[in-house]
Amino acid sequence: MDKNISFTLKFWRQNGPKDQGHFDTREMKDIPGDTSFLEMLDILNEQLIEEGKEPFVFDHDCREGICGMCSLYVNGTPHGKTERGATTCQLYMRRFHDGETITVEPWRSAGFPVIKDCMVDRTAFDKIMQAGGYVSVRTGAPQDANAILIPKQDADEAMDCASCIGCGACVAACKNGSAMLFVSSKVSQLALLPQGRPEAAKRAKAMVAKMDELGFGNCTNTRACEAVCPKNETIANIARLNREYIWAKLKD
Amino acid sequence: MWLFNSSIGRKVVMSVTGIALILFMTFHGCMNVVALFSAKGYNMICEFLGANWYAVVATLALAALALIHIVYAFILTIQNRKARGNNRYDVTDKPAKVEWASQNMLVLGIIILLGLLLHLFNFWYNMMFAEIVGVKGLAHSPSDGFAWIVDTFNQPVFVCLYIIWIIALWFHLTHGFWSAIQTIGWSGHIWFNRWKIIGIIYVTLLCLMFIAVILGFALGCAPSLCCGCGAECNCGHGDLCECAKNCANAAGACCGK
Amino acid sequence: MVKIDSKIPEGPVAEKWTNYKAHQRLVNPKNKLKLDVIVVGTGLAGASAAASLGEMGFNVLNFCIQDSPRRAHSIAAQGGINAAKNYQNDGDSVYRLFYDTVKGGDYRAREANVYRLAEVSNNIIDQCVAQGVPFAREYGGTLANRSFGGAQVSRTFYAKGQTGQQLLLGAYSALSAQVQAGKVKLYTRYEMLDLVIVDGRARGIIAKNLVTGKLERFSANAVVIATGGYGNTYFLSTNAMGCNVTAAMSCYRKGAYFANPCYVQIHPTCIPVHGDKQSKLTLMSESLRNDGRIWVPKKLEDAKALQEGKKEGWEIPEEDRDYYLERRYPAFGNLVPRDVASRAAKERCDKGYGVNNTGLAVFLDFSESIQRLGIDVVLQRYGNLFDMYEEITDVNPGEKRKTVNGVDYYNPMMIFPAIHYTMGGIWVDYELQTSIPGLFAIGECNFSDHGANRLGASALMQGLADGYFVLPYTIQNYLADQAIWPKVSTDRKEFAEVEKAVNDRIERLMNIKGKRSVDSIHKELGHICWEYIGMGRTKEGLEKGIQEIEKLRKEFDTNLFIPGTREGLNVELDKAVHLDDFLTMGKLIAYDALSRNESCGGHFREEYQTEEGEAKRDDENYFYVGCLKYMGSDAAAPELIKEPLEYEAIKVQTRNYKN
């Protein structure tokens, strides 16, 4: 059984994108170690509601590390620090120490305006996807699935790229607010597969153009993104995106 | 034009100008090493790179590269700060794999720029510029590069400043080297580590070349200063210099014939 | 008595769908441009339907409660998706997939629907591969398959342990393409709160903009709901926190029948509950049962020692372990269908053989397979699941603890059944149209294809089948003559009335101004449901459950507290609306369970079991779909309408996984 811990929780309150925002502080007592970080916040909210206060707002949904909705900046790291990389919902309180101060902040980036408290607006990612993150194929009658042979190695690599959950931790961690890891993961997935090749050049150009238009920063290869990615996407994807993009532009 | 208005394009410009500057520095480093061994050889190069049309053109091209690199650095930084937004994190915890240099490229770049200005003042102003404009009353002939080296590194202040400059350059390039290759897309899972190691070795050798020249002259142990190992008299007679007392004076010494 | 028309086409079961498509009405391309379709939900069913309809030319309005369509809970499906490709040459066929699904559903599904599902399953794989879904491959470049519970062939396609994610991202990308093309308009962070009916047809919805808090009206020629299941009625389930039944309930209140709500699937391999602060249950992929062996101790004293924490699982020697699934079901062993595996676990725990401090857990052990295959192979297959398990429980199932007489003992995992999927849902006919004309229900939200129990890897199949291949056809049969009517203005009185009703409801909830938080009441509802309407049900229990829910409903109506105002974002208010509907849903499950005096699939009545504890079905009296009709108020008991099942192709028999 895990021990219970007590700590000081500093959490960000902000009433809308224009509001200045500030930290609230609260002493949390006797939280069991096998509580997840979000369950700890549930406890916080239960206490706040009991006192007639508004609960602390944050995004969350599946709570099993796959939907990409949770987005908290915990103690200076997006999603909090774990060894293998995990989303906030998969962060457990046993990773914290008794008496420590835990600071919770929203993703801070111009691309992700705050809606309320730690809930941010990530629709920019959808817009980038809409610009070209797909293979144009009609529903209906494609060829038999096994008609396209894909070497296992390529399929596996494409799968790794496709694991991205679109949480935005990469943007949150990047000192330049760059979305390159997100964009490159999608471009890479489809660039690695024969199905994605016909549109590869168009896709790379369109997605990068949209990303730039939405005001995300330029990649300066600091690798902060891959260090915090809960799905372990790597900057090898960014190199591939660069390659795809440069070739596409040179061919124009 | 994608090189101006796309994020990857702008980075490609940084990358290509950066690689070109590294190549120039490689050449410059090799040239400097000649000074360690032969004053005559070094001055031959200086003369070759004097106010000749090709040297001037190359210099202008080089200046353009550096200027583009610098201007883009500022543009990118401004854009990136804007993308970051106005709110800063209260607590930040830098992941172990994030290199210090990668997050401070602009600061390092500014130090390098200041060093460069000093360097231009110390050498280029006295040499190529003096030759073109015809500046009078200088301590040495514009094509006597060797003498300017000796002069400069006789002063400990400059030695210190130059060493700081080279250290900043080392940090800037250890990140810049692989980053440039990553930006032009010539990297991947396997080659990422290879490029990183190649980059560190290459950049370290490059910086060692520069440092060796600085220290060689500062400490007076450059072989070219020492008559015993082949420094030639520069009075034109071609005989070996007999001065064996003070290596630091060797460059100006005459065989007396 | 209302007669139910399920509109099953003529002909032998294998030809029905082909016949239907050959004779259905279509909408000509010009008219498609005039027709608007509302699709609520962006999971596998919703996103694929919205994308396909948009691509065909309809104007689609697509709603989701999350910040992006890609967050829908379909994303969490781990194991895979079934299809009758027979790539493995193990004798699979459309008929066999059809048969397995009907059998797995304990003969309570509609034959024609299931056959169609099996028939289009192959198209789904083709479609997804064409979209760039990175399914697992063999070295030769062909698609790989794995086996899954309830089947004797390998027909499950998978993408690591993230099949649902990859399929959803595929559908999401198709949707994104249509958004870009201007054919789909996306409304994220919007929640459908009610359905608007004009002249007897579904013609629009009232949705709440969750960020501004404002109610907005949307009109269309047809409404499709793809809003998932009602598993969160039980508070603790494998569903996402946001999953709710509000959209479905609003359709139910407007007259759509709710079919078979008592069929609730309990997934056998979840991480056991650890404390009262827990917010959800984490599923461990069912694929673990391929190589893991499920056991409890043979001796009660060992179980007691485990419960008191005096012993750990690996300390119990091989001869003292009871591999109860292998013992009871020699033919299928650990791969029996979910309902069977879940009930067997409950049976052991009820007898006192539970292995954790709450006595509500069994072991899932990899010692044998690690010894057989080597740790590397096992980690390659399940490494990410092992990591996930360790992250949550601090126990590493890949850690060897001792070797005795050449037998290695590893840390076993602990698992326990949890609410996972709901087979019941809004009643739909063969065209996926509900009992309200113009209202369609697809995916988990409808009841149609799984009968009383769903087989592993079939949910993804159904969601995509409905969205890509069924609804886009059948909806045209309805829309074919709708283009002649003018667009319905949202200024009409029908819209105003429904909006006012929604408004009043929100005001009512805000004005209760009691003391208790939504979650505290929801947790209580969960306890009641799990206790009385859960895995083992009895008449008395169900009646008690209904009473308890009614009591809780009073507490909710008088003592709920929602902080803040209704302006702007108010998460608690949204949760309160959901809970309001879960309370009604809980009763609906109980009423249905009470009416079904038999045990079948996900519905187990303790009065109706064999001496060996197996489910006892009653085909004589309960061979029907139970449709519940709203009787004007949430307090009133619903009316039960029966849709008799007719089987032509399959002989109904007792499910047997023993030999």
Taking the mean position of all CA atoms in its chain, how far away is CA C365? Answer: 27
| HSE-CB for B249 with a 13 A CA cutoff | 9
The confidence score (pLDDT) of residue A135 equals: 97
What is the rounded distance in angstroms from the CA atom of residue A221 to the CA atom of residue A176? 10
pLDDT tens-place string over residues C173-205 = 999 999 999 999 999 999 999 999 999 999 999
Mean pLDDT value of segment A122-137: 97
**Domain A122-251 belongs to what topology?**
Fumarate Reductase Iron-sulfur Protein; Chain B, domain 2 (1.10.1060)
pLDDT tens-place string over residues C240-290 = 999 999 999 999 999 999 999 999 999 999 999 888 888 889 988 888 898
CATH match of A4-115 with 3.10.20.30? yes
My answer on whether C26 and C152 are in the same domain is yes
**Contact yes or no for B79 and A21 at CB 8 A:** no
Report how far apart, in Å, the C-alpha atoms of C5 and of each of A200, C252, C429, C451, C482 are.
49, 18, 7, 18, 21
My answer on whether C161 and C239 are in the same domain is yes
Is residue C227 domain-resident?
Answer: yes
Number of helices and strands in chain C (H, E):
20, 21
Chain A 193-222, residues with CB within 8 Å of chain B CB atoms: 208-209, 211-212, 215-222
What is the rounded distance in angstroms from the CA atom of residue A76 to the CA atom of residue A85? 14
User: Could you tell me which chain B residue has the CA closest to the CA of A110?
Assistant: B85
ipTM above 0.85, yes or no: yes
Look at chain A and count its residues: 252
Whole-model pTM?
A: 0.94
The confidence score (pLDDT) of residue A84 equals: 82
DSSP strand pairing (C81-82 vs C184-188): unpaired
Q: Which of C183, C240, C201 is nearest to C32 (CA)?
A: C183
CATH number of the structural domain B2-83+106-252: 1.20.1300
My answer on whether C449 and C538 are in the same domain is no
Q: What φ, ψ does residue A119 adopt, rounded to 5°? A: -90, 125
My answer on whether C295 and C409 are in the same domain is yes
The chains in contact with chain A, meaning 3 or more Cβ pairs closer than 8 Å, are: B, C
Residue A202 binned pLDDT confidence (cut-offs 50, 70, 90): very high
My answer on whether C167 and C233 are in the same domain is yes
Is residue C495 domain-resident?
Answer: no
Identify whether the C-beta of residue A189 lies closer than 8 Å to the C-beta of residue C165.
Answer: no
Chain C residue numbers touching A13 (CB-CB < 8 A): none
Is residue C518 domain-resident?
Answer: yes
Query: Could you tell me how many CB contacts below 8 A there are between chain A and chain B?
Result: 147
DSSP strand pairing (C258-259 vs C624-629): antiparallel
The confidence score (pLDDT) of residue C560 equals: 97
**Contact yes or no for A240 and B185 at CB 8 A:** yes
Poorest-pLDDT segment among A223-237, B141-155, C496-510: B141-155
My answer on whether C413 and C451 are in the same domain is no
The confidence score (pLDDT) of residue B234 equals: 53
User: Could you tell me which chain C residue has the CA closest to the CA of A48?
Assistant: C563
Tokens 């099942």 found at: C645
Q: Which domain holds residue C429?
A: 16-263+423-479
My answer on whether C466 and C396 are in the same domain is no
Contacts of B168 (CB under 8 A, 6+ apart): B108, B111, B112, B115
**Contact yes or no for B95 and A227 at CB 8 A:** yes
Q: What is the CATH number of the domain that holds C175?
A: 3.50.50.60
**Contact yes or no for B188 and A242 at CB 8 A:** no
The confidence score (pLDDT) of residue A83 equals: 83
Contacts of C279 (CB under 8 A, 6+ apart): A36, A38, A39, A42, A63, C236, C241
**Taking all residues of chain A, what is their mean pLDDT, rounded to a whole number?**
95
Mean pLDDT value of segment C319-340: 91
Identify whether the C-beta of residue C405 lies closer than 8 Å to the C-beta of residue C446.
Answer: no
Residue B226 binned pLDDT confidence (cut-offs 50, 70, 90): low
Q: What φ, ψ does residue A36 adopt, rounded to 5°? A: -80, 165
Report domain extents, chain A. Answer: 4-115, 122-251
Chain A 80-119, residues with CB within 8 Å of chain C CB atoms: 82, 84, 86, 90, 92, 94, 115-116, 119
Chain B residue numbers touching A177 (CB-CB < 8 A): 80, 83-85
User: Could you tell me which chain C residue has the CA closest to the CA of A159?
Assistant: C134
The confidence score (pLDDT) of residue A2 equals: 61
What is the rounded distance in angstroms from the CA atom of residue C27 to the CA atom of residue C64? 27
Domain count, chain C: 3
Report how far apart, in Å, the C-alpha atoms of C158 and of each of C43, C174, C384 are.
18, 20, 15
pLDDT at C152 over 60: yes
Chain A residue numbers touching C69 (CB-CB < 8 A): 126
3-state secondary structure (DSSP) of residue A29: strand
Q: What residues are paired with C600 via a beta bridge?
A: C603
DSSP state of B124: I
The confidence score (pLDDT) of residue B227 equals: 52
DSSP state string for A106-119: ----TTS-EEETTE
The confidence score (pLDDT) of residue C147 equals: 83
Q: Is A47 on the interface with B (CB under 8 A)?
A: no
Q: Chains C, B in contact: 3+ Cβ pairs under 8 A?
A: no
Rounded to 5°, the CA angle B117-B120-B121 comes to 85
Identify whether the C-beta of residue A222 lies closer than 8 Å to the C-beta of residue A174.
Answer: yes
Is residue C454 domain-resident?
Answer: yes
